[in-house]
């Protein structure tokens, strides 16, 4: 919601006197085409990226779940013991270190892969754009301002770069995170999950209220 | 300046509003998150103490962390989703540009190397002969005729408008035989440049016919048509490369000797020799280090090396030093010898020796003739030439 107003400016680039910004017709179709253009040549890479995201999230969640294990099995029972046996704890910690290391590695790997994918696909988009542009009739350049044409190359393609390389994987990451956290929460305690979800609903409602209240 | 101020002001107001929102929502969400944490802590503690549903202290520890970690992704999701939607707008523009219709070309007549046999019949030849012909395939009869490339351009009652509603050129008739020099004069916006845009089919006409060597130019392949035309305009676009390469752009298979010969014809040879590396001097991006006059000389050299039968000259009116201007004029004169030339003229000296001067006004040819004939008429041309008012 925070991006509503800036979006208005960015899209209505010809808005020196033009009315409301043009609505995006059929965003679904554009999205599909964008995915095809960005990931089409890199299907194998994307499989690994998705795997990496999954692994990264699962390792993180497993790390948080360890807290329960740590407190319930390794701390509480040993309080007041004269000579606690820390060997199992040591083993558990080593296990967790390995799992978290796998998580870190996955994050690093999928980010690296995404840079490769996004730069490559942007290069091919730019090349296609230029090749097609060279074949356009003179009429096109007489009717469209040079600034607008240039802006497609610089502004729009750069926005695409950011979205392809960062935002889309982050979005996937967030969604998987939310789902796995919810599952873990439900496994731990259903009633408490309801409490949490209730507060989440309150927060979302507050956001909507501020948006409609202000604007 | 005011336009920019207005745009700037709009941006400021909108960005301000957006930032206001973000700055309010941030703390609000954070506080609600804290409330959630405390709530869960209290209820969870009750559960843990009473050991309801097998809930232990450890469970609470994990759960609280999860609670904290849940809010961040949920907020981020809506932000990330918005970013993606914004990018879709950009992607839309990118795809629109990609999908633009390329220049169509229904032409089928091609320019080929030709040789003449003893009776004067023209046939296609494999090697470069220096003789060119139009290869015209007649679909109806299934035969191919060859027409020699001479540079004969005819405009037959041509009407043209950039849009169909607004016609800017009316009833244009031009008969240019090979070697003729035709000058166009007229006030700004009368249509001079438009006519030259029509010859090479940058735009297609609404009515009438344009014929090149007797063939309707609509039938000629655009690439081949443009190859047979030489254009020297007011702006020369140079690219990063050596001077030799820039001149060779006029004809890619030219030899080094031909490049030098073209430069000599264009009077560019002397200034090139004075450059640090001569012909191998590298010019960077659009030739910033060369003067306007020098760039024009290079443009003339490019046209010279292409050796086209038809030449289109748009004379530069920008300020060039007189010495270079003289060189340019000499270069252009040498270039024009023997070619059909269409000159958009501003300098009287160029106009004077034209075979036909066309005076354009609002898209119509109002006077035509040689310099002497037009002076006798004492019409618009006389007015332009002498700067005198015509006694009515």
CA-to-CA distance for A137 and B197, rounded, in angstroms?
12
Cβ-defined contact of A72 to B56 (cutoff 8 Å): yes
Q: Where residue A20 falls among pLDDT bands split at 50, 70, 90?
A: very low
Best mutation target among A2, A10, A23, A75 (most B Cβ atoms within 10 Å) is A2
Distance CA(A211)–CA(B234), nearest Å, equals 55
Query: What are B321-342's pLDDT values in tens digits?
Result: 777 777 877 887 888 888 888 8
Output A121 or A13, whichever has higher pLDDT: A121
- What mean pLDDT, rounded, does chain A reach? 82
The reported pTM is 0.72
Residues of chain A contacting residue B35, judged by C-beta atoms under 8 Å apart: 199
Which whole-number Å values give the CA distances from B146 to B71, B128, B155, in the listed order?
78, 16, 22
Distance CA B331, CA B324 (A): 10
Summarize pLDDT for B174-207 with one digit per residue, the tens. Answer: 998 888 889 888 877 777 888 888 888 888 888 8
| CB-closest option in A4, A10, A33 to B95 | A33
Residues of B in contact with A206 (CB under 8 A): 28-29, 32
Is B45 an interface residue toward A (CB < 8 Å)?
Answer: no
Where is average pLDDT lowest: A9-13, A38-42, B154-158, B210-214?
A9-13
Q: Tell me, what's the ipTM? A: 0.75
pLDDT at B387: 67
Instruction: Give the closest of A5, A162, A173 to B18, CB-based.
Output: A5
Q: Is B42 on the interface with A (CB under 8 A)?
A: no
Report pLDDT digits (tens) over B259-296: 998 888 888 888 888 888 888 888 876 666 788 888 88
A136/B102 touch (CB, cutoff 8 Å), yes or no: yes
pLDDT in tens, B351-382: 788 889 888 888 888 888 888 888 888 888 87
Q: Which pairing describes strands B282-283 and B181-186: parallel, antiparallel, or unpaired?
A: unpaired
Which residue in chain A is spatially nearest to B13 when comparing CA positions? A5
- Tell me the pLDDT of chain B averaged across its residues: 83
Could you say which residues from 69 to 98 on chain A have a Cβ atom under 8 Å away from some Cβ of chain B? 69-73, 76
Q: Is B102 on the interface with A (CB under 8 A)?
A: yes
* Shortest Cα distance, chain A CAs vs residue B367, angstroms: 30
Three-state SS sequence of chain B: CHHHHHHHHHHHHHHHHHHHHHHHHHHHHHHHHHHHHHHHHHHHHHHHHHCHHHCCHHHHHHHHHHHHHHHHHHHHHHHHHHHHHHHHHHHHHHHHHHCCCCCCCCCCEEEEEEEECCCCCEEECCCCCCCEEEEEEECCCCEEEEEECCCCEEEEEEEECCCCCCCCEEEEEEEECCCCEEEEEECCCCCHHHHHHHHCCCCCCCEEEEEECCEEHHHECHHHHHHCEEEECCCCCCCCEEHHHHHHCCCCCCCHHHHHHHHHHCCCHHHHHCCCCHHHCEECHHHCCCCHHHHHHHHHHHHHHHCCCEEEEECCCCCCCHHHHHHHHHHHHHHHCCCEEEEECCCHHHHHCCCEEEEEECCEEEEEECHHHHHHHCCHHHHHHHCCCCCC
Q: Which of A72, A135, A203 sits opposite B58 (nearest CB)?
A: A72
On chain B, the residues whose CB falls within 8 A of the CB of A27 are 85, 88
List, as ranges, residues 154-173 from B with C-beta within 8 Å of A: 162
Calpha distance A162→A177 (Å, rounded): 21
Q: Judged by CB atoms within 8 Å, which residues 121-140 of A form the interface with B?
A: 125, 128-129, 132-133, 135-140
Cβ contacts (< 8 Å) between B11 and chain A: which residues? 9
**Separation in Å, CA of A83 to nearest CA in chain B:** 22
Residue among A10, A139, A175 minimizing CB distance to B203: A139
């Amino acid at each position: 919601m925070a991006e509503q107003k800036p979006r208005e400016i960015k899209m209505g680039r010809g808005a020196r006197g033009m009315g409301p910004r043009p609505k995006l017709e059929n965003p679904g179709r554009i999205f599909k085409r964008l995915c095809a253009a960005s990931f089409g040549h890199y299907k194998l890479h994307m499989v690994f990226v998705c795997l990496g995201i999954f692994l990264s999230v699962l390792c993180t969640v497993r790390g948080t779940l360890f807290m329960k294990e740590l407190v319930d099995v390794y701390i509480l029972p040993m309080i007041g013991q004269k000579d606690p046996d820390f060997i199992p704890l040591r083993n558990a910690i080593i296990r967790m270190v390995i799992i978290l290391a796998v998580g870190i590695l996955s994050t690093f790997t999928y980010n690296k892969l995404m840079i490769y994918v996004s730069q490559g696909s942007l290069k091919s988009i730019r090349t296609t754009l230029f090749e097609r542009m060279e074949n356009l009739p003179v009429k096109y350049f007489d009717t469209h301002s040079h600034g607008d044409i240039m802006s497609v190359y610089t502004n729009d393609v750069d926005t695409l770069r950011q979205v392809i390389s960062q935002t889309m994987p982050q979005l996937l990451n967030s969604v998987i995170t939310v789902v796995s956290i919810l599952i873990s929460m439900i496994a731990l305690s259903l009633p408490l999950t309801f409490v949490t979800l209730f507060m989440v609903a309150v927060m979302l409602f507050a956001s909507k209220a501020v948006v409609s209240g202000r604007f | 300046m005011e336009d920019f101020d207005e745009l700037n002001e709009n941006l400021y107001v909108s960005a301000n509003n957006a930032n206001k929102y973000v700055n309010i929502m941030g703390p609000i969400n954070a506080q609600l998150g804290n409330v959630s944490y405390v709530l869960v802590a209290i209820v969870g503690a009750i559960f843990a103490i009473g050991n309801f549903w097998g809930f232990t202290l450890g469970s609470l520890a994990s759960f609280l962390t999860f609670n904290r970690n849940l809010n961040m992704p949920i907020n981020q999701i809506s932000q990330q989703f918005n970013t993606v939607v914004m990018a879709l707008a950009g992607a839309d523009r990118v795809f629109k540009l990609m999908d633009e219709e390329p220049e169509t070309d229904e032409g089928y007549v091609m320019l080929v190397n030709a040789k003449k046999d003893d009776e004067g019949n023209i046939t296609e030849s494999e090697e470069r002969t220096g003789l060119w012909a139009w290869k015209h395939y007649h679909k109806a009869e299934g035969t191919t005729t060859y027409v020699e490339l001479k540079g004969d351009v005819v405009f037959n009652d041509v009407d043209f408008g950039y849009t169909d509603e607004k016609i800017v050129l009316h009833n244009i008739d031009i008969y240019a035989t090979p070697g003729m020099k035709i000058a166009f004069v007229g006030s700004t916006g009368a249509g001079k440049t438009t006519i030259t845009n029509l010859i090479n089919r940058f735009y297609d006409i609404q009515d009438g016919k344009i014929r090149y060597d007797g063939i309707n130019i609509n039938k000629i392949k655009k690439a081949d048509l443009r190859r047979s035309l030489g254009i020297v305009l007011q702006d020369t676009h140079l690219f990063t490369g050596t001077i030799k390469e820039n001149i060779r752009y006029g004809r890619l298979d030219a030899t080094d000797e031909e490049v030098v010969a073209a430069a000599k014809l264009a009077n560019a040879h002397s200034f090139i020799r004075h450059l640090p590396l001569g012909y191998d001097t590298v010019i960077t991006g659009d030739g910033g280090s060369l003067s306007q006059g020098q760039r024009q000389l290079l443009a003339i050299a490019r046209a010279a090396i292409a050796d086209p039968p038809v030449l289109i000259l748009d004379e530069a009116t920008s300020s060039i030093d007189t010495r270079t201007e003289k060189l340019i004029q000499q270069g252009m004169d040498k270039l024009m010898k023997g070619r059909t030339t269409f000159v958009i003229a501003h300098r009287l000296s160029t106009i004077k020796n034209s075979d036909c001067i066309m005076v354009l006004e609002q898209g119509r040819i109002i006077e035509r003739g040689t310099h002497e004939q037009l002076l006798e008429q004492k019409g618009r041309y006389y007015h332009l030439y002498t700067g005198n008012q015509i006694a009515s």
